Amino acid sequence: MTYYTSVIQPDEDVRYVGTLHWLIYTKAIVWGFVTIATSVIAISIRSNPGFETWTLVAALAAAIFLLCALAAFLHAWLKRRSTEIVITNKRVLYKTGLIARRTEEMNITKVETVDVRQTVPGRIFGYGTVLIRGIGSSWEPLDRVTAPVKLRNAIIVG
C-alpha cells in the first residue's frame, strides 16, 4: 500500500502522481557496461598462453564491477520505489524513505511559485528538477522528476 493512500482525506481527489525518472539508474548502467567490457577482455585473453594471471585478474575485476552494478541498481530501485510525489486538489505530498520515512506536505493554497529546471538532456529524455516555494518556506529541489512540466501544471491548477 502506498503512503498517500493511507493519508488522503475523504474529500481529496488525486490529480497527479509523479515518479523519479528512469535515468536514476545511470550509475548501474555504466557499471554494467564496464562489467561487460571487462568480461569481454577476460574472455579474449583467456586463450592466449602466458596470460593466465591476467585472465584471472580481469575475471576478478569483472566480478567486482558486477557487484558494483548490482549495488547501484538496488540503491536506485529502492530510491525510486520509496519516493512518492502526489498532487491532490488540496495538498502537495512528497515522501521518501523505505524504513525511515521523511514526508513533506504543503497546502495548495500556500504554494507561491513552482520553478522547473530542465537541461537539454532533460528536455530530450523528459526529466527535470522542480522547486516548490510556499509562503514563507520552500522545499528542497525534487531532482530527476519525470514530466516536470506536468507536475508543475498539476500544482498550479490545484
Q: Does any domain span residue 6? A: no
Q: Exposed, middle or buried by CB within 10 Å (0-12, 13-18, 19+), for 5?
A: exposed
Comparing CA positions, the residue from 119, 143, 121, 111 lying closest to residue 130 is 143
Rg (CA), the chain: 22
Provide the pLDDT for residue 92.
Answer: 92
pLDDT tens digits for 49-94? Answer: 777 788 889 999 999 999 999 999 999 999 999 999 999 999 999 9
Of 19-28, 108-117, 130-139, where does the model show the most confidence? 19-28
Please name every residue paired with 114 in a beta bridge, in sequence order, or none if there are none: 132
pLDDT tens digits for 8-26? Answer: 899 999 999 999 999 999 9
What's the number of domains the chain is made of? 2
* 109 & 62 share domain: no
Q: Does any domain span residue 4? A: no
Q: Does any domain span residue 8? A: no
Q: Are 116 and 142 in contact (CB under 8 A)?
A: no
Query: Does residue 158 register a pLDDT over 70?
Result: no
Grid cell for residue 133: 516555494
Provide the pLDDT for residue 74.
Answer: 97
* 93 & 139 share domain: yes
* Half-sphere exposure in the Cβ direction for 126 (13 Å, CA): 9
Grid cell for residue 137: 518556506
Burial 46-56 (b: 16+ CB within 10 A, else e): eeeeeeeeebe
CA–CA separation, 142 and 136 (whole Å): 18
Provide the pLDDT for residue 13.
Answer: 92
Provide the pLDDT for residue 46.
Answer: 79
**Which residue segment(s) compose the domain that 72 sits in?**
25-78
Task: Name the domain boundary from 63, 78, 93.
Answer: 78
- In three-state secondary structure terms, 144 is strand
Angle of CA points 56, 60, 61, to nearest 5°:
115
Q: Are 135 and 110 in contact (CB under 8 A)?
A: yes
